[in-house]
């Protein structure tokens, strides 16, 4: 048998086996056997994989779960623990990492404000409902771009969405792909997309601006164009096959042509006060950090990302654990944290807290985004409210 057109046979089989028809399975088994008898083991194995994956997805339909297994959103073979990720031909370095949905489901989603939450819910709902859209002849959107400041939970959000959909993630960092030898970048992009298109997955292109990174160097301009074109072409092909989410924190670097390729574009901004309060509550849960302290920390973390807030909370928890006998106040912990994590960027709240009590207490009480009262300050300082008013009176006198 001439094998040149075998990929087409496989694609046919994949499409036909989606409905789980026993006749299709039976004929596929026959073909697999015939190929195997003729010594075409690789092809026989490929057919087996298609059969396995269609069995897996029809079995999954029987499992009642929160996870929605829509086949329209991403078709293809099932990724298994023994699937090798695609590699760079010259260096054999992996071009992507495979993350499975059951592990991803252990991660809680990032905490977002209500508007963002609604937008994200809409995205996952439409992806989960892709079968329905397709059946109605409506275009299924399969691309999204998440952008915003570092550490705001973009990667976490994409991983969580994949878990919600029950899809494994093929995670590629595009800055990593482009740092390999010149000329091979475009080929790596194609290898990566071919891999993602073959399997049922969410393709996550992290650090997506990596494709534009070479632009600064005029000598590399031709290369950048080739790479950007390779990405655009690959995305166009993939848009009818599977889900692609790209992430960047340098959205300004992206070409308008790239920008337009995305059906949805989500600006994951820095968390507002109410969101920061929830993030602080999550990361201090189980520790003696009461609501007054949460409010003071919310004030203090204005302009911080979720990731920075998590780091601060981790410090507070460590400090409270190591100095449990002294029972430090949250303010004592946080002042130590600030002393140990000086930054070049200035924050009025941080500077106030490092100056003196009278100064920061006045600032905190004047915070507009949430209402902070003297009792909150007293709690964060582990002192009485009358002590707080004495602190404030000392300011009035000076």
**Which residues form the interface with Mg ion (CB under 5 A)?**
155
CB within 8 Å of 160: residues ≥ 6 apart: 104, 107, 108, 109, 110
Which of 155, 284, 298, 301 contacts ligand ATP by CB under 6 A?
155
Contact region for ligand ATP (CB under 6 A) — 146-154, 284-292, 318-326, 343-351? 146-154
Q: How near is the Cβ of 234 to ligand ATP at its closest, in Å?
A: 22
| Residue written as token pair 């409506």 | 138
Q: Does 306 bind ligand ATP (CB under 6 A)?
A: yes
Measured from each CB, the residue nearest to ligand ATP is: 306
Question: What are the strands of the beta sheet with 202-206, ordered from one edge?
Answer: 97-99, 169-173, 202-206, 243-248, 143-147, 264-267
The contact mask relative to ligand ATP for 238-257 (x = CB under 6 A, - = no) is -----------x--------
Q: How near is the Cβ of 305 to Mg ion at its closest, in Å?
A: 11
Contact region for ligand ATP (CB under 6 A) — 58-66, 107-115, 119-127, 341-349? 107-115
Q: How near is the Cβ of 64 to Mg ion at its closest, in Å?
A: 33
The contact mask relative to ligand ATP for 112-141 (x = CB under 6 A, - = no) is x-----------------------------
**Gap between the Cα atoms of 91 and 180, Å rounded:** 9
From the number of C-beta atoms within 10 Å of its C-beta (0-12, 13-18, 19+), residue 81 rates as exposed
The size of the interface with ligand ATP (CB under 6 A), counted in residues, is 16
Structure-derived torsion over alpha carbons of residues 378, 383, 387, 388, reported in degrees to the nearest 10:
-20
Q: How near is the Cβ of 170 to ligand ATP at its closest, in Å?
A: 17
Measured from each CB, the residue nearest to Mg ion is: 155
Kindly tell me which of 116 and 377 has the beta carbon lying closer to ligand ATP: 116
Q: How near is the Cβ of 346 to ligand ATP at its closest, in Å?
A: 21
Q: Does 20 bind ligand ATP (CB under 6 A)?
A: no
Cα–Cα distances (Å) from 4 to 28, 43, 50, in that order, read 18, 11, 19
Contact region for ligand ATP (CB under 6 A) — 43-51, 109-117, 325-333, 369-377? 109-117
Kindly tell me which of 191 and 284 has the beta carbon lying closer to ligand ATP: 284
């Amino acid at each position: 048998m001439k094998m040149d057109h075998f990929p087409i046979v496989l694609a046919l089989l994949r499409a036909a086996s989606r409905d789980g028809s026993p006749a299709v399975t039976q004929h596929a088994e026959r073909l697999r056997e015939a190929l195997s008898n003729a010594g075409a083991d690789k092809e026989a194995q490929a057919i087996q994989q298609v059969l396995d994956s269609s069995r897996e997805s029809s079995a999954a339909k029987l499992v009642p779960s929160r996870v929605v297994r829509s086949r329209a959103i991403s078709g293809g073979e099932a990724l298994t623990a023994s699937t090798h990720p695609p590699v760079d031909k010259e260096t054999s370095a992996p071009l992507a990492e495979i993350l499975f949905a059951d592990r991803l489901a252990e991660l809680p989603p990032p905490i977002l404000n209500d508007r963002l939450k609604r937008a994200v819910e809409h995205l996952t709902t439409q992806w989960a409902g892709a079968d329905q859209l397709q059946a109605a002849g409506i275009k299924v959107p399969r691309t999204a771009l998440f952008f915003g400041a570092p550490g705001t939970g973009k990667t976490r959000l994409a991983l969580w969405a994949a878990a919600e959909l029950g899809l494994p993630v093929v995670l590629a960092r595009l800055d990593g792909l482009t740092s390999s030898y010149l000329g091979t970048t475009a080929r790596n992009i194609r290898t990566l997309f071919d891999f993602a298109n073959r399997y049922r997955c969410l393709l996550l292109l992290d650090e997506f601006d990596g494709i534009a990174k070479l632009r600064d160097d005029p000598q590399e301009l031709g290369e950048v164009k080739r790479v950007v074109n390779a990405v655009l072409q690959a995305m166009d092909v993939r848009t009818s096959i599977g889900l692609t989410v790209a992430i960047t924190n340098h959205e300004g670097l992206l070409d308008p042509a790239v920008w337009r390729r995305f059906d949805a574009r989500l600006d994951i901004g820095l968390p507002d006060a109410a969101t920061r309060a929830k993030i602080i509550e999550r990361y201090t849960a189980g520790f003696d950090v009461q609501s007054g302290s949460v409010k003071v920390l919310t004030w203090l973390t204005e302009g911080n990302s979720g990731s920075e807030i998590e780091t601060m909370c981790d410090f507070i928890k460590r400090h409270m654990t190591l100095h449990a006998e002294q029972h430090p106040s949250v303010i004592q912990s946080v002042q130590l944290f600030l002393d140990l994590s000086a930054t070049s960027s200035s924050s009025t709240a941080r500077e106030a807290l490092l100056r003196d009590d009278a100064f920061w207490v006045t600032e905190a009480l004047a915070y507009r985004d949430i209402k902070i009262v003297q009792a909150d300050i007293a709690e964060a300082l582990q002192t009485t409210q009358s002590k707080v008013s004495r602190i404030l009176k000392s300011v009035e006198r000076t």
